[in-house]
Amino acid sequence: MGYQAQFKVWRGDATGGDFVDYRVEVEEGEVVLDIMHRLQATQAGDMAVRWNCKAGKCGSCSAEVNGRPRLMCMARMSTFTEDETITVAPIRTFPVIRDLVTDVDFNYHKAREVPAFAPPEDLAPGEYRMAQVDVDRSQEFRKCIECFLCQNVCHVVRDHEENKEPFAGPRYLMRIAELEMHPLDVRDRQEAAQDDHGLGYCNITKCCTEVCPEHIKITDNALIPMKERVADRKYDPLVWLGRKIFKR
């Protein structure tokens, strides 16, 4: 049975904006993205919404629904009560372009700063051999749909614009960890993780893991192991001695 739901949707652009009230028809089985589409079709034809797959796989429809960062196409209307006012806002960490659409360019810049997979030079394609456990680890990280919800929610950049320069964010620190733990990658990524990509800014709050729609254990399986590797190296007496000698 359909009903009329009360929404507050953020409307505006880079110069400013505010929440606007709407009453919209809701049908059984719908998700928040369906309602945004109905709103576009019936009351707000110029409202900007980014989406693509409507199946939780393209990572385009990230927004903050009742203050919680999530995919609009995976946010079931049945999880809200019929008399509840539902707020829909653009993700907060990135600059607004218009309405619910933000400029997520930051993430593509950070992606480009991570050096690519570097296999041994004498290993030809087809000669790669890996243990299943190493394949499984990479596969968990590769479930990422680049929705940037983890990047959006991490307090290091969410509350501190100035940290966007030195901090790659959980998604790209996870990529560095994936490559660092890859048995065929020969590049040393530990020092760069700490010095160039801001691993030390992460204080393991795990908000990134909590919002990940792919349920990737970003903190436990990528960030903490990466921190452990960096710490082991820092306190390894041989590494310490080597640094002393070569820095002289």
The contact set with ligand FES (CB under 6 A) reads 51-54, 56-61, 71, 73
State in angstroms the smallest separation of the CB of 221 from ligand SF4.
11
Rule CB under 6 A: say whether 207 interacts with ligand F3S.
yes
Q: What secondary structure letter does DSSP report for 28?
A: T
For residues 184 and 123, the answer to whether their CB atoms sit within 8 Å is yes
Beta bridge partners of 136: none
| Of 154, 194, 188, the residue nearest 170 (C-alpha) | 154
Total residues at interface with ligand SF4 (CB under 6 A): 14
- 96/121 Cα distance (integer angstroms): 44
Site for ligand F3S in 4-33 (CB under 6 A): none
Rule CB under 6 A: say whether 144 interacts with ligand SF4.
yes
Q: Dihedral of CA 118/123/125/127: which sign?
A: negative
Rule CB under 6 A: say whether 71 interacts with ligand F3S.
no
**Smaller CB separation from ligand F3S, 15 or 203:** 203
| Of 6, 13, 152, 25, the residue nearest 87 (C-alpha) | 6
Q: Which helix (H) or strand (E) holds 18?
A: strand 16-26
State in angstroms the smallest separation of the CB of 13 from ligand F3S.
28
State in angstroms the smallest separation of the CB of 62 from ligand FES.
8
Span from 50-58, 94-102, 137-145, 205-213 in contact with ligand F3S (CB under 6 A): 205-213
N- to C-terminal Cα separation, the chain = 76
What is the identity of the amino acid at 103?
Answer: D
What is the identity of the amino acid at 109?
Answer: H
Beta bridge partners of 86: 7
User: Which position among 24, 156, 176, 199 is part of the footprint of ligand F3S (CB under 6 A)?
Assistant: 156
Q: What secondary structure letter does DSSP report for 61?
A: -
**Smaller CB separation from ligand FES, 56 or 166:** 56
Span from 65-73, 85-93, 115-123, 203-211 in contact with ligand F3S (CB under 6 A): 203-211
**Smaller CB separation from ligand F3S, 91 or 154:** 154
Site for ligand SF4 in 204-243 (CB under 6 A): 211-214, 216, 218
